């Protein structure tokens, strides 16, 4: 099974290189595997955990919003 790993900047929402992710660990989210859900989700770059919309609004530079 092929597991896709990608680094996404919480600030820009763009995919970034492994080197850039290593330089900015607090504002980088590592995505693993396929996303099989639908809707809008917010993930903390600090913890990697899903967070509420309110948390995402308060912390836009350390939260990635994923839309399906």
Q: 55-66: per-residue pLDDT in tens?
A: 999 999 988 888
pLDDT digit string (tens) for 25-58?
Answer: 888 888 766 655 667 888 888 888 889 999 999 9
Give the global pTM: 0.55
Is the confidence at residue 4, as pLDDT, over 60? no
Return the number of other C-beta atoms located less than 10 Å from residue 27's C-beta. 20
Strand 28-32 and strand 50-51: pairing?
A: unpaired
Domains held by the chain: number:
1
**Boundaries of domain holding 9:** 5-67
Is the confidence at residue 68, as pLDDT, over 90? no
Is the confidence at residue 3, as pLDDT, over 70? no
């Amino acid at each position: 099974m092929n597991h896709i790993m990608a680094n996404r900047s919480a600030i820009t929402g763009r995919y970034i290189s492994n080197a850039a992710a290593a330089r900015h660990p607090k504002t980088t989210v590592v995505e693993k595997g396929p996303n099989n859900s639908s809707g809008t989700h917010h993930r903390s770059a600090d913890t990697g955990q899903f967070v509420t919309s309110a948390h995402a609004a308060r912390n836009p530079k350390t939260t990635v919003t994923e839309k399906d």
